[in-house]
Amino acid sequence: MRKEFSPEERKEGFLEGKVALVTGGGGGIGWGIVTEFAREGARVAIVDIDERQSREVLSLAEEISPGHYFYRADIRDIGRFEGLLDRIEADIGMVDVLVNNAGVNTPHSFLEMTPEAFDQVYDVNVRGHFFLSQEVAKRMIAAQKQGVILFITSVHQEVVQGHPHYSSSKASLSMLVKEMAVELAPYGIRVVGIAPGGIYIEKRVEDPGLANDEPSVILGGKNGIPRDIGRAAVMLVSDYWSRHITGEVLTVAGGQYLLPASRETCRRLF
């Protein structure tokens, strides 16, 4: 059973002493997760294929707290996961928290879809994270570590987008959260997800007021920013806040899509 924390026992950081692996850590939402984890005391392994962006995020994390690393890796290359995790364990320790954040999309409708575009999206969004989670979970079980696996899905796991390969890949992750939660619960491993709505990632802004306008967001009329997802991730992977939560996907979207889509929104999609 996971330890119950009283308010008096809470440490300075909710993730103090934890090692977190964040795939896609150099991207927009990844930046928000990495920096918020760093603020809460975690040491973060940034895993991404984009070295330039990732090293920028690494520098930002190091300004907050020390002890973070970048590892260049392609999430599609499942044969290298064992070696990747061996390196992370040697550098900063065994992974306590895995964040499956990397994701891609292509501008194809159902009738325009090609096998190459379909495979590209599923290989990153589903297949790579499935087998990375499997390897991390096996190591947690062997070490009797009660860790957390977090998937970043999307509101498009339920809401039509016009890119069916992307939406269905995110729906797959939502179901995977539930399947894995049931199988890993006997080992004390929690599995959770976050479904972001529109997130402004063009610039690394920390002021929500600088996000782009989005009429479908009923809470403030603007898209969210990466920090919104980062802080939700802190809450879900922290045993202080979420010790008794598994198999759930939290929507973070400012109420986006609670109301029926307007004709204008449908025209934008299709």
Angstrom distances, CA of residue 253 to CA of 18, 50, 219, 266, 267: 27, 27, 9, 18, 21
Residue 179 lies in a domain: yes
Residue 264 lies in a domain: yes
The total of structural domains in the chain comes to 1
Residue 1 lies in a domain: no
Residue 7 lies in a domain: no
Question: Is 166 an annotated catalytic residue?
Answer: yes
Segments in the chain forming alpha helices (H): 28-39, 51-64, 81-91, 115-122, 129-142, 164-184, 226-237, 239-242, 263-269
Residue 261 lies in a domain: yes
Which position among 69, 71, 122, 166 bears the catalytic label? 166
159 backbone dihedrals φ, ψ, rounded to 5°:
-110, 130
User: How many Cα atoms occupy the beta-carbon half-sphere of 95 within 13 Å?
Assistant: 35
Residue 6 lies in a domain: no
Q: Which domain holds residue 81?
A: 13-269
pLDDT profile of the chain (270 residues), mean per 10: 54 88 93 96 97 95 96 96 98 98 90 93 96 98 98 86 87 96 98 88 59 72 87 96 96 80 51
Question: The CATH number of the domain where 118 resides is what?
Answer: 3.40.50.720
Residue 8 lies in a domain: no
Residue 168 lies in a domain: yes
Task: Give me the pLDDT at residue 154, please.
Answer: 87
Task: Give me the pLDDT at residue 4, please.
Answer: 54
Task: Give me the pLDDT at residue 254, please.
Answer: 81
Task: Give me the pLDDT at residue 77, please.
Answer: 96
Type of residue numbered 233:
A
SS3 call for 86: helix
Q: What pTM did the predictor assign? A: 0.90
